[in-house]
Amino acid sequence: MASDSDVPNSIPALSETHSQPAQWTEAVKKIQPVDDFRNLPQVPCARESLMYGIASAAGIGAIRFLNGGPRVAANWAVGTFVFISIASWEVCRRARDREQQTMRMIVEKYPQRNIRVAMQKAEEARAQASAGDAGNNPTGAS
């Protein structure tokens, strides 16, 4: 059995975690909500997911308002927005990842295909050149 000195201490002591509050304050200072919302359209799948969530929440909220009143409708609308937004985000990201993986595979194999085609063309050109040289040089003309 290993002694305490042989096992590295991977869990920091309680005093060590409280001695570093500067890292948390620096991290909080880096949060820029205005810039994050401004850059939201550039985030892949974000716009589409939020639009699906908003449309679904409006529809379900309206239906629940007719049957249960504003408080029930608001709860259902928020829940629907969150669920549909997350679900459509995951579906979109998964499809995007699959597409990127396919593109990476094509890019990796494409140079090999070009090399193979170039080698075949070079062999055909050599064969035509050697056949043309044999026809241009009469055997008894030297």
**Does 115 reside within a domain?**
yes
Nearest one of 78, 103, 86, 79 to 45, comparing CA atoms: 86
Detail the DSSP E strand segments found in the chain. none
**Does 45 reside within a domain?**
yes
Which has the higher per-residue pLDDT, 60 or 39?
A: 60
**Does 44 reside within a domain?**
yes
**Does 69 reside within a domain?**
yes
pLDDT digits over 1-38, tens only?
Answer: 444 444 444 455 444 555 566 788 888 888 888 888 88
Are 58 and 64 spatial neighbours (Cβ–Cβ below 8 Å)? no
Residues 95, 100, 106: CA angle, nearest 5 degrees:
130
**Does 27 reside within a domain?**
no
Cβ partners under 8 Å of residue 86, min gap 6: 49
**Does 139 reside within a domain?**
no
Average pLDDT, the chain: 81
**Does 142 reside within a domain?**
no
**Does 85 reside within a domain?**
yes
pLDDT digits over 37-50, tens only?
Answer: 888 888 888 999 99
Give the global pTM.
Answer: 0.55
CB atoms within 10 A of CB 63: 14
Domain hosting residue 41, numbered range: 32-127
Place of tokens 């008894």: 140
Total domain count, the chain: 1
